[in-house]
Structure 1
Amino acid sequence: MSETDRGDFRARIRRNFARQAAMQTIGAALTRVEHGVVEIELPFDVKLTQQHGILHAGIISAALDSACGFAAYSLIDPEASILTIEFKVNLMSPGRGERFLFRGEITKPGSTIIVADGRGYAISDGPAKLIASMTGTMMVIRGREGITG
C-alpha cells in the first residue's frame, strides 16, 4: 500500500484520538503523528498516581497502548480500524516527573497483524528518563459493525 492510499492518516488519527474518552480523562495530548510513529504527552497529575505518588502502571499502559495503536493507524487504509489484541509492558523505573512522553513505533507492519514497540519517558529537569517499554500486537479490522476507521 502506498502512502497516498492511506488518505490523510494524520487527520484520521487526530479525529480518533479526540474520540478516546480514556485519553481525555487522563489529560493526554497527541503531540506527534508521523508515518509509523505517534507520541502522546501527559502532564503529572496526583489523581493518576498509585499509593506512593508514582504514575500508576495502568495509566502508563493505557498511554503506551494508545501510542502504539495510533502508530498502527498510520499504516492502514481509511476504511480499516485497529484493535489491540495483546501487549506486554515492562516497568523499568518509577513514574516520577513533571510530564510524561509515550512514543509508539511500528516494528512489523502487516495487512492483518501489526507489531509496535512503545517507550514511556518521565520528563523533569535534566534528560528524559525511560520508565517503561511495551510490545504490542494490533489487528487490522475491516467490515466489522460498530468499528470504523
Structure 2
Amino acid sequence: MSEINSDTIDDRIRLSFARQGAMRTLGAELTRISQGVVEIELPFSEKLTQQHGILHAGLISTTLETACTYSAYTMIESDVSLLTIEFKVNLLSPGKGERFLFRGEITKPGSTIIVADGRAYALSDGPAKLIASMTSTMMAVRGREGISG
C-alpha cells in the first residue's frame, strides 16, 4: 500500500461530500476529517422527522453510513473507491435535539474489506445523547468504470 497524503485525502473527501445530493438535501455539514475518523453534523429540521416529530430512522442510517464510509476513505489510496456492502443499525434513543453529530470510525482497516463503527448523537443544551450506533462494512473498488472517489 502506498503512503497516503492527508491533505489530498481531506480535499478528496470534501469534494466527494460536496457532490452528494443526499447530504446537501439534508443540510448536512462535514465537520471533521482525521485519520480513521469523520464527523458530519446535521441541524434539526421538521422536514427530516417522522410522524412523531423525531429524526427519521432512515436519515439517521443514511448519515451514519456516510460518516462510516468517509472514515474508510481516510485509510485508502486516492485511486480506490468504496461501496458499502453491509451495515447494522441500533436505534437507541429518539432523535430529539437541536443538532445531530454522526461519527464514523475505523474498526478494522484492510486493502479489500474495511469495517467501521458509527455513533449518532443528539445535541442540545445538556450533554450529547447517544441515539444510534452502526457497524458497516465497505469493499474497496479498483478500476471499475463509473465508480470513483
Q: TM-score, normalised by structure 1?
A: 0.97
Q: CA RMSD in A?
A: 1.2
CA distance in structure 1 between the aligned counterparts of 2:7 and 2:80, rounded to whole angstroms: 11
- In structure 2, what is the equivalent of residue 88 of structure 1? 88
Q: Is the 8 A contact 1:54 1:95 kept in 2?
A: yes
Other structure's SS at 1:122 match: strand
- In structure 2, what is the equivalent of residue 101 of structure 1? 101
What is the percent sequence identity of the aligned residues?
72
Aligned length: 149
Runs of 4 or more, structure 1, over 2 Å off, are 1-7
CA distance in structure 1 between the aligned counterparts of 2:112 and 2:40, rounded to whole angstroms: 25
- In structure 2, what is the equivalent of residue 139 of structure 1? 139
- After superposition, where does 1:1-149 map in structure 2 within 5 Å? 1=1, 3-4=3-4, 8-149=8-149
CA distance in structure 2 between the aligned counterparts of 1:111 and 1:83, rounded to whole angstroms: 13
Q: Is the 8 A contact 2:37 2:106 kept in 1?
A: yes
CA distance in structure 2 between the aligned counterparts of 1:141 and 1:130, rounded to whole angstroms: 32
CA-to-aligned-CA distance 1:77-131 (integer Å, 9 cap, x gap): 1111111000000000000000000000000000000000000000001100000
CA distance in structure 1 between the aligned counterparts of 2:6 and 2:79, rounded to whole angstroms: 9
Amino acid aligned to 2:138? M
Amino acid aligned to 1:102? F
CA-to-aligned-CA distance 1:33-57 (integer Å, 9 cap, x gap): 0010000000000000000000000
Amino acid aligned to 1:16? S
Q: Is the 8 A contact 2:4 2:77 kept in 1?
A: no
Q: CA deviation at 1:5?
A: 5.8
Distance 1:40 1:69, change over 3 A: same
Q: CA deviation at 1:4?
A: 3.7
Q: Is the 8 A contact 1:121 1:128 kept in 2?
A: yes
CA distance in structure 1 between the aligned counterparts of 2:6 and 2:148, rounded to whole angstroms: 14
Q: TM-score, normalised by structure 2?
A: 0.97
Other structure's SS at 1:85 match: strand
